[in-house]
């Protein structure tokens, strides 16, 4: 009988090395998939990256890492990874799917439509894809319709509100505003406390009072510059909080731990008050009410989610319409455009939602002069202050979010020293411990939405600054809340995207 030749690869051969490399990539991929399933998205992303080192030609690995990036809100990175997957395999439907999701999240609806259509051609039986395509097409048509109807110098919707015509009838059982000496209804501490109690029981205040709060706060915000200076006197302190994202019951936890705002207990909330969490209306009415009550001791920074595009996608517009009206959603939008872009504490600390405007190298005086009454642009100092992120490496790179830049320790130090500042405090990113001190102390991140979106498992935190601007951190865990899922008011097909 003839002896069959041995075709198995020899030990140490290129074929054996290739097989070992692919086995290694597959094992790491399995671990990454398990981490993703457990909602440990940053760990999954790191593992997919490690697997790609072993097998950089796998379209699936690039697509999976894109999916993890979407969960981490790194939409620019997701687009890059999905594009690489499609370069390796032009018939990989999930590559188009992931890139479409990321484009939609950035408000690039035409790009999303293109990719969802391509994905459907490859996977025609996927109903989720068809729903997402329909919603992306609807947004494209809506944008075109709004452009066609746009009137130059159209009066603000806020000017159309006649408060005296909104009557509060006797059947209303919630807290009531009382008129002051001028005859105007006033936001009092008693009213705010009653409002918080009502919100805790998932009861709304009357729309007359909601409009009073929004419009009174808007008038105060209009009087402020784009960059506001705050003075903390000797013996005083200022509490700085990060993203709250509609997690109202966690806002109450902050007040339980640190006390209600007052002239002797001032606060600064650093943007991203709304979206994702399903009590965004309660959050923003609370914050604006305190702004009315203590205009010189309660401060609000604009975040990237105080913007029409984000609010349309991530639930706030849907929530306002469900709880009040589309007219109120428009008035909120106009009010957000008057939020300051940043604060400087005792000439030492810049507080800004995203990061300092390092790519355009704008000065503090230039920021003070910015015309902020607009939707955020896609470049320039206003964009950077809402969107920038720190990175460990030196220099600057395009931000993984797809907007703004990522800046290294050298960049942070040079910009801050050039402005005579010691530190930048920013938010904008989930941190496991609720905060992070980076860049040798030049950059601090504070995030105040614990167990973000009921799935991240992170702690929340806030900072207290004394007059010397020495930071003291307080961490806290998520508070129990009624059984309502995050993104409950977001567009259906995209409600669980990010």
Query: Which contacts (CB < 8 Å, 24+ apart) does range 48-56 have?
Result: 51/25, 51/26, 52/25, 54/21, 54/22, 54/24, 54/25, 54/28, 55/21, 55/22, 55/25
**Kindly report the CA angle at 483 between 481 and 486, in degrees rounded to 5?**
85
> Can you list the positions of beta strands (E) in 59-111?
none
Q: d(Cα 99, Cα 220) in Å, to the nearest integer?
A: 41
Map tokens 């000065």 to a residue.
363
The full length of the chain comes to: 498
Short-list 224, 211, 466, CA closest to 320: 211
Residue 216 corresponds to which tokens in the numbers above?
């009174």
Map tokens 């980076």 to a residue.
438
- Quick one: CA dihedral 398, 401, 404, 410, positive or negative? negative
Residues 185, 216: contact at Cβ < 8 Å?
no
Choose the catalytic residue: 245, 297, 305, 439. Answer: 305
Q: d(Cα 293, Cα 287) in Å, to the nearest integer?
A: 10
Map tokens 């020495």 to a residue.
470
Q: d(Cα 207, Cα 183) in Å, to the nearest integer?
A: 19
Residues 353, 244: contact at Cβ < 8 Å?
no
Residues 416, 424: contact at Cβ < 8 Å?
yes
Short-list 235, 295, 276, 225, CA closest to 451: 276
Catalytic residue at 305?
Answer: yes
Active-site positions read: 305
């Amino acid at each position: 009988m003839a002896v069959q030749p041995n075709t198995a690869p020899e030990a140490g051969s290129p074929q054996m090395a290739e097989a070992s490399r692919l086995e290694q990539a597959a094992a790491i991929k399995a671990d990454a998939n398990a981490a993703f399933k457990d909602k440990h998205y940053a760990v999954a992303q790191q593992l997919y990256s490690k697997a790609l080192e072993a097998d950089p030609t796998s379209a699936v690995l690039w697509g999976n890492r894109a999916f993890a990036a979407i969960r981490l809100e790194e939409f620019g990175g997701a687009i890059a990874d999905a594009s690489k997957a499609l370069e390796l395999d032009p018939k990989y439907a999930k590559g188009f799917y992931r890139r479409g999701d990321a484009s939609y999240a950035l408000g690039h609806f035409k790009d999303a439509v293109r990719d969802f259509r391509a994905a459907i051609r490859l996977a025609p039986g996927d109903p989720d894809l068809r729903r997402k395509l329909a919603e992306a097409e609807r947004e494209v048509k809506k944008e075109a319709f709004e452009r066609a109807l746009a009137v130059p110098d159209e009066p603000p919707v806020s000017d159309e509100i006649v408060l005296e015509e909104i009557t509060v009838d006797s059947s209303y059982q919630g807290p009531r505003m009382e008129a002051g000496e001028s005859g105007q209804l006033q936001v009092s501490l008693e009213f705010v406390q009653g409002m918080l109690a009502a919100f805790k029981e998932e009861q709304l205040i009357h729309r007359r009072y909601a409009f009073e709060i929004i419009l009174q706060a808007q008038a105060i915000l209009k009087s402020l510059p784009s960059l506001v200076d705050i003075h903390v006197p000797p013996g005083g302190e200022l509490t700085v909080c990060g993203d709250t994202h509609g997690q109202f019951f966690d806002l109450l936890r902050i007040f339980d731990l640190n006390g209600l705002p007052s002239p002797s207990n001032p606060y600064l909330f650093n943007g991203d008050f709304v979206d994702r969490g399903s009590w965004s209306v309660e959050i923003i009415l609370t914050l604006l009410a305190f702004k009315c009550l203590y205009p010189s001791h309660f401060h609000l920074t604009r975040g990237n989610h105080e913007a029409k595009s984000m609010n349309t996608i991530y639930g706030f517009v849907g929530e306002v319409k469900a709880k009040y009206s589309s007219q109120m959603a428009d008035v909120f939008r106009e009010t957000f455009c008057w939020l300051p872009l940043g604060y400087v504490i005792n000439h030492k600390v810049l507080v800004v939602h995203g990061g300092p405007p390092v790519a355009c190298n704008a000065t503090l005086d230039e920021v003070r002069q910015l015309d902020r009454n607009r939707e955020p642009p896609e470049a320039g100092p206003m964009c950077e202050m809402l969107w920038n992120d720190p990175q460990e490496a030196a220099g600057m790179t395009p931000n993984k979010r797809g907007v703004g830049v990522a800046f290294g320790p050298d960049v942070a130090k040079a910009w801050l020293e050039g402005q005579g500042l010691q530190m930048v405090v920013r938010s904008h990113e989930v941190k496991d411990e609720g905060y992070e001190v980076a860049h040798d102390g030049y950059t601090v991140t504070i995030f105040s939405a614990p167990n973000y979106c009921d799935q991240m498992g992170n702690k929340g935190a806030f900072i207290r600054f004394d007059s010397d601007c020495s930071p003291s951190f307080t961490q806290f865990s998520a508070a129990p809340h009624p059984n309502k899922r995050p993104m409950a008011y977001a567009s259906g097909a995209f409600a669980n995207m990010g």
